[in-house]
Structure 1
Amino acid sequence: MSVTSPPRQGALRPVIENRPIRFPDTRSRSMMTKRAWWLVVLNVLIPGSAQVLAGNRRLGRFGLAATLVSWVLVVLTVLTFVMWREVFFGFATNWFVLLLLQGLLIAYAVLWLILTIDTLRLVKLVKTGSLARFGIAVAAIVALVLTGGGSVWAAERVGIVRETIGIVFAESGPPVPPSDGYYNILLLGADSGEGRDSMRYDSISVVSVNADTGAVTITGLPRDMVNFPFAEGPMADLYPDGHTGHVDATCGWSSGLNQLRTEVEVCRDGSALYPDAVANGSEPGIEATKDAAEGILGIEIPYYVFIDMAGFANLIDALGGVDITVTERLPKGGGPAYDGQPAEEWAIGWIEVGEQHMDGDTAQWYARSRYTTSDWDRMLRQRQLQEAILAQFTPENVLARFQDIAAAGTALIATDIPQSLIGYFADLAVKSREQPVTTIELTPSSVGGIGVIPEEMTASDFAFIQDYIQNVLHPPTPTPTPTS
Structure 2
Amino acid sequence: MTRRAWWLVVLNILLPGSAQVLAGSRGLGRFGLRATLTFLGLVIVAGVVYTLNPEIVLTVATNSIGLWILAAVMVFYAIVWVILTFDTIRLTRLVKARPKARPFIAGLATVVMVVFAGTAGYGAYVATTASGFLSSVFAAGPSEPPVDGRYNIMLLGGDAGPDREGMRPDSISVVSIDAETGKADIIGLPRDLEYVPFPEGSPLNAVYPDGYGYDGVCDVSACMLNSIYTEVELKSPEMYPNAEAEGSEPGIEAMRDAASGITGLTIQYYVLIDMQGFSELIDALGGVDINVAERLPIGGDEEFNNVDGWVEAGQQHMDGFTALWYGRARHGTSDYDRMARQRVLQEAILKQFNPANVITKFQGVAEAGQQVVSTDVPQGMLGYFTNLAGKTKELPVGAVELVPANNVDPQDPDYDYIRSLIDTALNPVTETPAP
Query: Could you tell me whether the CA contact under 8 Å between 2:168 and 2:226 is conserved in 1?
Result: yes
SS of aligned partner of 1:310: helix
1:444 aligns with 2:413: no
Post-superposition CA distance 1:111-157 (Å, at most 9, x none): 11111121222222233332323332222211210111111121112
Post-superposition CA distance 1:9-37 (Å, at most 9, x none): xxxxxxxxxxxxxxxxxxxxxxx222222
Match of 1:10 in 2: none
Match of 2:429 among 476, 481, 484: 476
Match of 1:342 in 2: 303
User: How far is 1:197 from its partner?
Assistant: 6.9
Query: Could you tell me whether the CA contact under 8 Å between 1:248 and 1:254 is conserved in 2?
Result: no
User: How far is 1:193 from its partner?
Assistant: 5.9
1:85 aligns with 2:85: no
Q: Which stretch shifts more, 119-128 or 435-444?
A: 119-128
1:213 aligns with 2:155: no
SS of aligned partner of 2:187: strand
Residues 38-437 of structure 1 correspond to what in structure 2 (within 5 A)? Answer: 38-171=7-140, 173-192=141-160, 198-232=166-200, 233-245=202-214, 252-268=220-236, 270=237, 272-333=238-299, 335-336=300-301, 342-343=303-304, 345-437=305-397
Match of 2:415 in 1: 462
Query: Could you tell me whether the CA contact under 8 Å between 1:93 and 1:422 is conserved in 2?
Result: yes
1: CA distance, partners of 2:120 / 2:43:
13
Post-superposition CA distance 1:233-284 (Å, at most 9, x none): 21111111111158799x532111111122112111x1x3212211111001
**Structure 2 stretches of 5 or more lacking a match?**
none
1: CA distance, partners of 2:101 / 2:18:
22
1: CA distance, partners of 2:110 / 2:388:
42
RMSD between aligned alpha carbons?
Answer: 1.9
2: CA distance, partners of 1:57 / 1:400:
39
Query: Could you tell me whether the CA contact under 8 Å between 2:166 and 2:230 is conserved in 1?
Result: no
Q: Provide the identity percentage.
A: 51
2: CA distance, partners of 1:198 / 1:374:
24
Greater gyration radius: 1
2: CA distance, partners of 1:422 / 1:196:
35
SS of aligned partner of 1:170: coil
1: CA distance, partners of 2:107 / 2:284:
36
Query: Could you tell me whether the CA contact under 8 Å between 2:167 and 2:230 is conserved in 1?
Result: no
Q: Which stretch shifts more, 411-420 or 392-401?
A: 392-401
Q: TM-score, normalised by structure 1?
A: 0.86
Q: Give the counterpart letter for 1:346 in structure 2.
A: N
Distance 1:323-1:95 versus aligned 2 partners, 3 A rule = same
Q: Which stretch shifts more, 364-373 or 393-402?
A: 393-402
User: How far is 1:394 from its partner?
Assistant: 2.5
Query: Could you tell me whether the CA contact under 8 Å between 1:194 and 1:310 is conserved in 2?
Result: no
Q: Give the counterpart letter for 2:402 in structure 1.
A: L
1: CA distance, partners of 2:303 / 2:139:
47
**Structure 1 stretches of 5 or more lacking a match?**
1-31
Query: Could you tell me whether the CA contact under 8 Å between 1:246 and 1:255 is conserved in 2?
Result: no
SS of aligned partner of 2:317: strand
